[in-house]
Amino acid sequence: MAIEGTSEKRERRIRLGMVGGGSGAFIGAVHRIAARIDDHYELVAGALSSTPEKAESSGRELGLDPSRVYSDFKQMAIREAKLKDGIEAVAIVTPNHVHYAAAKEFLKRGIHVICDKPLTSTLGDAKKLKKAADESDALFVLTHNYTGYPMVRQAREMVANGEIGAVRLVQMEYPQDWLTENIEQSGQKQAAWRTDPARSGAGGSTGDIGTHAYNLGAFVSGLELEELAADLDSFVDGRQLDDNAHVMMRFKAKDGERAKGLLWCSQVAPGHENGLMVRVYGTKGGLEWTQKDPNYLWYTPFGEPKRLLTRAGAGAGAAANRVSRIPSGHPEGYLEGFANIYTEAARAIFAKRKGEKIDPAVTYPTIDDGMKGMVFVDACVQSSKRNGAWVKV
């Protein structure tokens, strides 16, 4: 297992900066924990808030050198790029509409970007960001963190190895219940920006969690979406963005075999906290994974009893084991999965440092995965506007 200090030669830590993630932000703290778990990063600079006082106090809380606390990400990019020991990578954890503007400043200066999802708030921004990333020599890593769970990797590897035959069905869901009532109007900060088109973009639940479910389905199945038909709703009075989506999907044929999918994402389904689930069925077997039980993967070879594969346990393969830390039966969770994305990125960054080829086993979500997510949201919105007509992607 990839326990730090044991299985891999130790590299000098990556100097990391952060944009967004000041006091009180949930996802910034998650990124920092994820960066620390395997000890490949050192946070040394930050534009943690655009409000100078908050940027300063947040920097102090995190123990940053005051000379490397910024209130403007552009300034940070310019200055850090010039420092001898300036940052090598930056984590962007702002609301969606800032992603593009921030990322391009670092990419153009050769600083690797680790960016929260969805890629941007608009498809236009996404295309520009794709261009910026393609033109840069720096890496672009999107934190579709659920692909970091070991048993998700196990599932992907099994599908790729043909263990369930040709894939016919990909069923994805991500129900939540936290927006069942109109909390955005009573000052809940997380709810406020996520339901605001200006900050989130055209998709509500589709952008926030639907992209995760879709990314997971695509990651595990290895399939490309061809077209979709979507029915979106805003069940809560006054809500501007969708809070529930039903999506039918048709994937591109692979080896002559077509596949279909269903995706349900919801923020108004009482009883669901973060009920992400993916189920894939092929000609020879089925696989089921749910975030509620992330260390387990159900595998059913057709005509045989169901088998429960466990993280680091009997039946776990190379793809899962390289991102596992502790023995089977001791659960790893969300933060470890998130850390796996950071650690995979670190492995790529270490290779770049040394001018070596990145190990093909290194797996993290890229700018292209981000583009696919944006196209998915856009297609959902278009289809729903056209009464659920099929939209090619």
Residues from 334 through 373 that contact its own copies (CB under 8 A): 334-336
Q: Which of 300, 321, 366, 382 binds its own copies (CB under 8 A)?
A: 300
| Euclidean distance between CA atoms 80 and 58, whole angstroms | 19
320: left (phi over 0), alpha (psi -120 to 50) or beta: alpha
Does residue 324 interact with its own copies by CB under 8 A?
A: no
Q: Which of 51, 124, 160, 181 binds its own copies (CB under 8 A)?
A: 181
Span near its own copies by CB under 8 A; candidates 22-30, 75-83, 153-161, 203-211: 22-30
User: Residues 210 to 249: which contact its own copies by CB under 8 A?
Assistant: 229, 231, 233, 235, 244, 246, 248
User: Residues 243 to 282: which contact its own copies by CB under 8 A?
Assistant: 244, 246, 248, 250, 258, 260-262, 264, 266, 268-275, 279, 281-282
Does residue 326 interact with its own copies by CB under 8 A?
A: yes
With contact defined as beta carbons under 8 Å apart, do 100 and 116 qualify?
no
Counting residues that bind its own copies (by CB under 8 A) gives: 101
- Reference 209, options 237, 169, 173; nearest CA is 173
Does residue 5 interact with its own copies by CB under 8 A?
A: yes
Q: Specify the residue for token string 């955005």.
A: 184
In angstroms, give the least distance from the CB of 20 to its own copies: 13
User: Residues 121 to 160: which contact its own copies by CB under 8 A?
Assistant: none
Q: Which value, in Å, is the radius of gyration of the alpha carbons in the chain? A: 21
> Judging by beta carbons within 10 Å of its beta carbon (0-12, 13-18, 19+), is residue 296 exposed, middle or buried?
middle
DSSP codes, 331-375: ---HHHHHHHHHHHHHHHHHHHHTTPPPPTT-----HHHHHHHHH
Does residue 291 interact with its own copies by CB under 8 A?
A: yes
Q: Which of 131, 252, 330, 385 binds its own copies (CB under 8 A)?
A: 330
Span near its own copies by CB under 8 A; candidates 10-18, 88-96, 112-120, 200-208: 10-18
- Reference 235, options 176, 172, 173, 171; nearest CA is 176
Helix 73-82 vs helix 99-107: crossing angle, to nearest 10: 10
| Euclidean distance between CA atoms 356 and 334, whole angstroms | 31
Question: Edge-to-edge, what's the strand order for the sheet holding 41-47?
Answer: 41-47, 14-19, 89-92, 112-115, 140-142
Classify strands 225-233 and 391-392 as parallel, antiparallel or unpaired: antiparallel
Nearer Cβ to its own copies, position 58 or 122?
A: 58
Span near its own copies by CB under 8 A; candidates 90-98, 125-133, 290-298, 354-362: 290-298
Lay out the site mask for its own copies across 25-54 (x = CB under 8 A, - = otherwise): xx-xxx-xx--xxxx---------------
Span near its own copies by CB under 8 A; candidates 71-79, 88-96, 305-313, 348-356: 305-313
- Reference 366, options 115, 32, 58; nearest CA is 115
Nearer Cβ to its own copies, position 196 or 231?
A: 231
Q: Which of 88, 125, 242, 332 binds its own copies (CB under 8 A)?
A: 332
Q: Which of 193, 298, 321, 352 binds its own copies (CB under 8 A)?
A: 298
Q: Which of 51, 52, 61, 75 binds its own copies (CB under 8 A)?
A: 61
